[in-house]
């Protein structure tokens, strides 16, 4: 997602009519408790293993062997679970003119259902650790355990839970999981403002939004997962989510809190950011929210490991994976007719 050097420039462009300030609720009354339908038990150990498997391939940067191997693994794993998988290959042009051999993966369940829920995460990793304090390390790729692999790991476990829990079948609603490629290949820290090009992040979601895997595809709503595995992570209601998908955002946070994950799902709003969900909202016209860690201790939106070499497995926490994964599963199962 967007490099912090250009944060407020794009914040201004995309949020002219939207207050970036935290808003207070209009009433002190608590929302009525939702009736939670029966859903599978999300297995955090399995999700963690999916994260570790991705990290084990190495740098998942387009044009590198590890990227190809990991992509093949994602597709084969989903197919083995019984999901219908479409591979969307495309060439993306990076900020420096480099052509990135990219692949989006779209997996579908209950293909006959007209009511559909879209779940997404990006699976590529940052090619340079440009948030490292030691500038000599800026050209090193990151592991991307949290920034990329955590969201994919959760969604792979969601896919497994839906497919293999015959005692709790998903009925009356279909699910589409999209793994976006080439999300994290934007300009490195320190790029002069005059040389900065718009829309150089989130290339996979931009491509999918303009070239959907099915003609006239739409979804009731979408949920994007990004950096959802960190220790003691806090998830605030991100500004673009509240602008484009306020009702479902409120619903997701309420479900998370009702499940007991109040320490993760914080009932506060943050400034809007540029992430894959922005293009799904703007271009694909599907209301999508972003569950993404918020940590402003150093004046930056993201956690302290963001785009550094410390974004590794040591900072992935099973309890965080459980909180997000169980909440997403519950949201999906609550949409059954």
- Residue 156: Cβ within 10 Å count: 27
Both tokens assigned to 333? 């199962």
Residue 173 near residue 335, CB atoms below 8 Å: yes
pTM of the model: 0.92
SS3 at position 240: helix
> 254 to each of 162, 184, 221, how far by Cα in Å?
22, 30, 16
Write out the two tokens for 264: 């993760």
Q: How far is CA 110 from CA 116, 243, 306, in A?
A: 9, 30, 36
What token pair was written down for 16?
């002219």
Q: Residue 179: phi, psi to the nearest 5?
A: -100, 110
- Per-residue tens of pLDDT for the chain, all 337 residues: 655 444 444 444 444 443 333 444 444 567 889 999 999 999 999 999 999 999 999 999 999 999 999 999 999 999 999 999 999 999 999 999 999 999 999 999 999 999 999 999 999 999 999 999 999 999 999 999 999 999 999 999 999 999 999 889 999 999 999 999 999 999 988 788 767 888 999 999 999 999 999 999 999 999 999 999 999 999 999 999 999 999 999 999 999 999 999 999 999 999 999 999 999 999 999 999 999 999 988 778 898 999 999 999 999 999 999 999 999 999 999 999 8
Rounded CA-CA distance 306/309 in Å is 9
- Residue 336 sits at the vertex; the CA angle it makes with 213 and 118, to the nearest 5 degrees, is 25
**Per-residue pLDDT, 9:** 45
- List the structure tokens of 200: 């150089």
pLDDT of amino acid 15: 44
CA–CA separation, 275 and 289 (whole Å)? 10
Model pLDDT, residue 110: 97
- Percentages helix, strand, coil for the chain (3-state, rounded to 5) are 35, 15, 45
**DSSP letters along 148-177, please?**
IIIHHHHHHHHHHHHHH-TTS---S-EEEE
The pLDDT of residue 31: 80
Any idea what the Cα angle at residue 127 is, between residues 99 and 12, rounded to 5°?
85
Q: Are 264 and 292 in contact (CB under 8 A)?
A: no
Q: Render pLDDT for 112-137 as a digit per residue (tens, 0 to 9).
A: 999 999 999 999 999 999 999 999 99
């Amino acid at each position: 997602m967007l490099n912090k050097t250009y944060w407020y420039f794009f914040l201004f462009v995309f949020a002219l009519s939207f207050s970036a300030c935290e808003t207070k609720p209009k009433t002190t009354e608590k929302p009525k408790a939702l009736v939670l339908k029966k859903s599978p038990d999300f297995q955090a150990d399995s999700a963690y293993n999916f994260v570790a498997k991705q990290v084990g391939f190495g740098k998942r940067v387009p044009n590198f062997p590890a990227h190809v191997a990991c992509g093949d693994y994602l597709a084969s794993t989903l197919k083995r679970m019984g999901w219908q998988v479409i591979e969307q290959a495309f060439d993306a042009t990076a900020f420096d003119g480099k052509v990135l051999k990219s692949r989006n993966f779209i997996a579908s369940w209950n293909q006959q259902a007209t009511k559909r829920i879209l779940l997404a995460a990006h699976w590529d990793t940052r090619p340079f650790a440009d948030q490292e304090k030691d500038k000599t390390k800026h050209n090193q790729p990151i592991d991307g355990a949290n920034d990329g692999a955590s969201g994919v790991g959760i969604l792979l476990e969601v896919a497994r839970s839906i497919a293999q829990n015959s005692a709790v079948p998903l009925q009356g609603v279909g699910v589409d999981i999209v793994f976006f490629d080439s999300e994290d290949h934007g300009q490195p820290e320190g790029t002069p403002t005059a040389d900065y090009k718009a829309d150089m992040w989130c290339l996979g979601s931009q491509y999918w939004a303009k070239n959907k895997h099915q003609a006239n595809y739409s979804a009731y709503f979408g949920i994007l997962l990004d950096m959802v595995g960190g220790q003691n992570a806090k998830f605030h209601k991100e500004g673009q989510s509240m602008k484009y998908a306020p009702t479902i955002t409120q619903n997701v946070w309420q479900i998370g809190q009702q499940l007991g994950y109040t320490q993760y799902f914080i009932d506060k709003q943050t400034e809007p950011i540029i992430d894959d969900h922005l293009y799904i909202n703007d271009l694909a016209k599907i209301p999508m929210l972003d569950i993404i860690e918020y940590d402003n201790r150093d004046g930056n939106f993201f956690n302290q490991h963001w785009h550094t070499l410390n974004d590794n497995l040591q900072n992935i926490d099973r309890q965080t994976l459980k909180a997000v994964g169980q909440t997403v599963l519950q949201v999906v199962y609550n949409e059954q007719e």
